[in-house]
Amino acid sequence: MELTGEIRANLFEMQDKEYGDFNSAIIPNIGREHIIGVRSPELKKIAALYKNADIGGFMNALPHFYLEENYIHAQFLNTMKDFDECMKATELFLPYIDNWETCDSLAPKVFRKNKPMLLERSAQWRRSGHTYTVRFGIGVLMRYFLDDDFDVKYAGEAAKIRSDEYYVNMMTAWYFATALAKHYDEVLPFIEQHRLDTWTHNKAIQKAIESYRVTDEHKAYLRSLKVK
């Protein structure tokens, strides 16, 4: 059996139809027929089975039909060791991502090895016309550039994003909520000066207020900055 068929067979062995119904409800833009219904721990176990396998055929068999196949694809990318190969494979995959779950599960560890190149590519992705490529580009800023590598100019770049896409704006809000938790004093002016669109502004405040990493004092002030 070729690898794609083998992986699909393993996925169906772990099928939980009720969980598939649940996933269909929280990922409404994916048809139910594209969701097998496999929980994350089982998906990771399946991906681990192919740690030393030749996965090239599966990685090039795009687009995948099932949501879970996309998840497996992302897991393969997450464990790649060579930066250049991973970047090339990621850029091949991005145009085929069609939902937030696949997008947010893509987080290659090797990306930390070349932050300058990653930052450059993130900027390119954020200029894309593809919803989930833009979302991924914002997610890169949040995942890899909010700790020791943080620079307030990155928040400025995120603040410039304007989109009619819910899943782009939600990621921007998530970015600013996380940035407020980690760099409150530096990021607060973006909220005070209303540098985000109204929906994203309010959603960022909401998510920051929900965070245990934001102090009660800061939460009280953020509530006062909501746009009504």
> Across residues 2-31, what is the average pLDDT?
95
Residue 95: pLDDT band (50, 70, 90) is very high
pLDDT at 1 over 60: no
Architecture of domain 114-228: Alpha Horseshoe (1.25)
Return the pLDDT at 225.
Answer: 97
Return the pLDDT at 72.
Answer: 97
pLDDT tens by residue, 26-59: 999 999 999 999 999 999 999 999 988 889 999 9
Ranges for all domains in the chain classified under CATH 1.25.40: 114-228
pLDDT tens by residue, 83-92: 999 999 999 9
Return the pLDDT at 219.
Answer: 97
pLDDT tens by residue, 175-225: 999 999 999 999 999 999 999 999 999 999 999 999 999 999 999 999 999
Return the pLDDT at 228.
Answer: 87
pLDDT tens by residue, 104-139: 999 999 999 999 999 999 999 999 999 999 999 999
Q: For residues 116 and 72, what is the distance between their CA atoms, to the nearest angstrom?
A: 27
Q: Which residue has the tokens 């900027």?
A: 123
